Structure 1
């Protein structure tokens, strides 16, 4: 698992470099069949990750790869689940709140995950064996990936917020989310709300900077698997809003149910 994590961390950081090559210049925006945006950065990141992980001979499902039928993937016991650029809308807005997500899923649940924020270099990773950690990658440093891993901070690296804090989506807030926050306000009194884009929201709960992240709006499996791993192995629950059960992956329909990320 340590070797798989190292390779996936390296892949995420290198994909982030490919994304920044596009981000720092003018770029065109295409529209996919589901009306979501697509840029050259999404494509470059996808190919960089796919090439990096290919020698490991583990099945791979990527948002920007071939959309495989359930028949083709239903018997997968282990596979990579990837979003090469999570938060394309934030990328287009140039607010920096987008990530590279790489998760390793076994028997329907993430067992390892990496979330890398290209603009800041902040890199979160976690596994069932080791727990969750974070470091900030500096492209101008001579430090190796091993150096970063050896000096990473264990999560959570912050005390629980003094005021109960809810993190919400920058681009996809809903009336249901507002109702959720109001319910928590009744329970906890004062409630602070913070916003962010992409899978950074799951990582804010993992870090201890927020108590809960309700996602009462649509997401896909590749949006959440890596952040799910980071949050889970940092001591958080990632559960179906309706059933209370842990979020599952490689379903026939890759659309996630509404879910909540909450620190125990």
Structure 2
């Protein structure tokens, strides 16, 4: 399937429109927090962002797989060659803590491969994106669509020149498994290691940027947690591979849970 040039524009518009609603809720005292069956939090912002993004992406006519959407059986999904995979808010725990380290993730996946991604951290004013099969970019001080349009021509192409000397490993602020601790310990035996804890998909984007050397995720993630940042990593010549088989992660699988992976 030929990918249309305006898909990136549509994804960006969806992201910025959703971010307005998200930030309005972020500034209030009541997030309307609920708890899902897996004990992960859900806020009014997740639901508002989901509805806005779904409406914006629907103009493409492509199916949408969203964390906050209905549970779509594989029998229905398996015929989807190209689809959107969305996480309306990745890092809801960081949203609730008001750390700012949450993102809106929108990915376009075709033939199980992520080809386009937008990852926006509206509270931090940081946005990462890629154009299909080509370059990956980063912009800072972007708090609105107007900010983006004014500065897009000055965006940094990723990866940036590496400025650190030690081996930097990104870890999750909320999900640090024992296996990840073992990975860090083993790496530290022969290398001077620094740890950088970050929330949400920012960790994978920092791999694309070259700000960290790797991000091991030896615990549970879902496809919507990784698809957008994965597309950005690929355009920055980085990989997100199965920790055991070394195969690149794939999407729209029968089970939407990712295998353990290493982004580097």
Contact 2:127 2:142 in 1 (8 A): no
Q: TM-score, normalised by structure 2?
A: 0.94
Deviations 1:205-242 (A, max 9, x none): 11110000000010000000001111111111110001
Farther-moved stretch of structure 1 (10-19 vs 161-170): 10-19
Cα distance change of structure 1 residues 128 and 31 upon mapping to structure 2, 3 Å threshold: same
State the aligned residue count. Answer: 260
> Displaced runs of 4+ in structure 1, greater than 6 A?
none
Matched residue, 2:202: 200
Matched residue, 2:94: 90
* CA distance in 1: counterparts of 2:198 and 2:87, whole angstroms: 17
Aligned partner of 1:259 among 237, 240, 261:
261
5+ residue gaps, structure 1, are none
Contact 1:127 1:229 in 2 (8 A): no
Contact 1:161 1:211 in 2 (8 A): no
* CA distance in 2: counterparts of 1:92 and 1:78, whole angstroms: 33
* CA distance in 1: counterparts of 2:72 and 2:145, whole angstroms: 39
Aligned partner of 1:250 among 209, 231, 252:
252
5+ residue gaps, structure 2, are none
* CA distance in 1: counterparts of 2:45 and 2:151, whole angstroms: 25
CA RMSD of aligned residues (A): 1.5
Pair 1:225-2:188 in alignment: no
- The DSSP-based 3-state class of the residue aligned with 1:79 is strand
Matched residue, 2:214: 212
Deviations 1:102-137 (A, max 9, x none): 000001110110000010121100134321001125
Question: Displacement, 1:50?
Answer: 0.8
Aligned partner of 1:153 among 132, 152, 156:
156
Matched residue, 2:57: 53
Cα distance change of structure 1 residues 111 and 42 upon mapping to structure 2, 3 Å threshold: same
* CA distance in 1: counterparts of 2:145 and 2:83, whole angstroms: 32
